[in-house]
């Protein structure tokens, strides 16, 4: 089964965007639909997450406006890919970390 690409972004108060993709090795053959359901169950208001909790690189810009900018990132999509993995963490580790998150803290 192909690897899985996790796509996300940071959108600042002026709507400037930084994008990133993490490609996870999918040796365990996790189905895309199962992963998508897990990810969406852990998002804040169906879109956002905190990179420190999800253990992915921060995409904030170098400039910061405390009155306008925010700390969360936005989930974009997941997809199968034949590209090589670019993460030391495998997909099983990522899903186990997500399963432990308590989203109710933000609701």
Q: Are 24 and 81 in contact (CB under 8 A)?
A: no
The share of the chain scoring above pLDDT 90, in percent, equals: 74
pTM, to two decimals: 0.90
Q: 38 phi and psi, to 5 degrees?
A: -65, -50
- Separation of alpha carbons 85 and 79, rounded Å: 13
Q: What is the pLDDT of residues 25-39, one digit of tens each?
A: 999 999 999 999 999
pLDDT mean over 80-90 = 94
pLDDT mean over 49-73 = 90
**Domain ranges for the chain:** 3-106
- Separation of alpha carbons 98 and 105, rounded Å: 14
């Amino acid at each position: 089964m192909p690897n899985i690409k996790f796509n996300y972004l940071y959108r600042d108060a002026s709507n400037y965007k930084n994008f990133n993709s993490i490609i996870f090795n999918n040796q365990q053959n996790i189905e895309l639909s199962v992963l998508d359901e897990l990810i969406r169950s852990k998002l804040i208001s169906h879109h956002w997450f905190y990179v420190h909790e999800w253990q992915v690189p921060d995409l904030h810009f170098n400039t910061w406006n405390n009155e306008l900018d925010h700390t969360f990132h936005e989930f974009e999509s997941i997809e199968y890919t034949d590209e090589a993995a670019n993460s030391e963490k495998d997909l099983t580790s990522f899903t186990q970390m997500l399963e432990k998150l308590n989203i109710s803290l933000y609701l």
